């Protein structure tokens, strides 16, 4: 299990390749990448604030839950903070399991929990001004399915 919280960019190809290499024998790898969306051209950048210390602990706890619940060979979470331009990767998760069902389910679980239980706050910097992204009710509701 690997958790990284960083401001630096990461390379999807490199991260995916090294995760796949370390998960050799697993049978299935799922990766998900979140990007800064352009909101129909209205967004210039995203500023992501986090709570150093708690962030790493919260993500590790979420990843440990995933490892315990599904038959995972490995899991990876990378989440960035700081100022990111439209199109830049914000975060990625990768899961490795003997079969795809566990890898997909664990990746979705990780994403659902990272959304509303990892201490990050997004601020959109756009043509219409600057605003904190509000948490969505459906993101909270998504946790109930687990």
Partner 1 sequence: MIEVLYFAWVRERIGLPRERVQTTAATVADLVAELSAREERYALAFADLASLRVALDQELSSFDAPLAGVREVAFFPPMTGG
Coil/strand/helix, residue 82: strand
Bridge partners of 2, per DSSP, are 76
Exactly one of 18, 67, 104, 122 binds partner 1 (CB under 8 A); which one? Answer: 122
Cα–Cα distance, 12 to 49 (Å, whole number): 22
Number of helices (H) and strands (E), helices first, in the chain?
4, 8
Q: Does 107 bind partner 1 (CB under 8 A)?
A: no
Those residues whose C-beta lies under 8 Å from the C-beta of residue 23, and which sit 6 or more positions away, are 29, 73, 74, 96
Nearer to partner 1, 1 or 54 (CB): 54
Binding positions for partner 1, 3-62, rule CB under 8 A: 34, 49, 51, 53-54, 57-58
Structure tokens at 109: 């679980």
Residue 37 near residue 31 (C-beta atoms within 8 A): no
Exactly one of 7, 71, 100, 132 binds partner 1 (CB under 8 A); which one? Answer: 132
Residue 89 near residue 80 (C-beta atoms within 8 A): yes
* Closest CB 80 distance from partner 1, rounded Å: 11
Nearer to partner 1, 26 or 95 (CB): 95
Binding mask 61-100 for partner 1 (x = CB under 8 A): ------------------x----------xx---------
Nearer to partner 1, 34 or 98 (CB): 34
Residues that bind partner 1 (CB under 8 A): 34, 49, 51, 53-54, 57-58, 79, 90-91, 111, 114-123, 132-135, 140
């Amino acid at each position: 299990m690997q958790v990284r919280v960083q401001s630096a960019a990461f390379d999807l190809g490199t991260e995916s390749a090294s995760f796949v290499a370390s998960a050799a024998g697993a049978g299935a790898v799922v990766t998900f990448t979140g990007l800064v969306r352009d909101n129909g051209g209205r967004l210039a950048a995203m500023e992501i604030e986090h709570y150093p210390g708690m962030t790493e602990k919260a993500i590790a706890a979420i990843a440990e839950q995933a490892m315990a619940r599904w038959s995972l060979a490995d899991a990876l979470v990378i989440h960035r903070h700081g100022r990111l331009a439209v199109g830049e990767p914000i975060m990625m998760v990768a899961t490795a399991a003997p079969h795809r069902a566990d890898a997909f389910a664990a990746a979705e679980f990780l994403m659902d929990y990272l959304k509303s239980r990892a201490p990050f706050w997004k601020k959109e910097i756009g043509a219409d001004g600057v605003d904190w992204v509000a948490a969505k009710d459906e993101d909270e509701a998504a946790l109930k399915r687990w």
